[in-house]
Amino acid sequence: MEIRIQAIHFDATEALKVFIQKKVAKLERFYDDIRLVEVSLKVVKPETAENKEAGIKVSVPSGELYAVKVKDTFEEAIDEDVEALSKQLVKFKEKLRGK
In the chain, where are the structural domains located? 2-98
* Cβ–Cβ < 8 Å for 19, 75: yes
Identify the pLDDT of residue 20. 97
State the Cα–Cα distance between residues 17 and 98, nearest whole angstrom.
Answer: 36
* Cβ–Cβ < 8 Å for 68, 55: yes
Strands (E), the chain: 2-8, 36-43, 52-60, 63-71
Q: How do residues 3-35 score in pLDDT, each as one tens digit? A: 999 999 999 999 999 999 999 999 999 999 999
Identify the pLDDT of residue 46. 74
Identify the pLDDT of residue 98. 82
Using the predicted structure, report yes or no on whether residue 87 has a pLDDT greater than 90: yes
Q: How do residues 27-82 score in pLDDT, each as one tens digit? A: 999 999 999 999 999 998 877 778 999 999 999 988 999 999 999 999 999 999 99
Residue 95 is which amino acid? Answer: K
Q: What is the pTM of this model?
A: 0.92
Assess if CATH 3.30.160.100 describes domain 2-98: yes
Using the predicted structure, report yes or no on whether residue 99 has a pLDDT greater than 70: no
* Cβ–Cβ < 8 Å for 95, 73: no
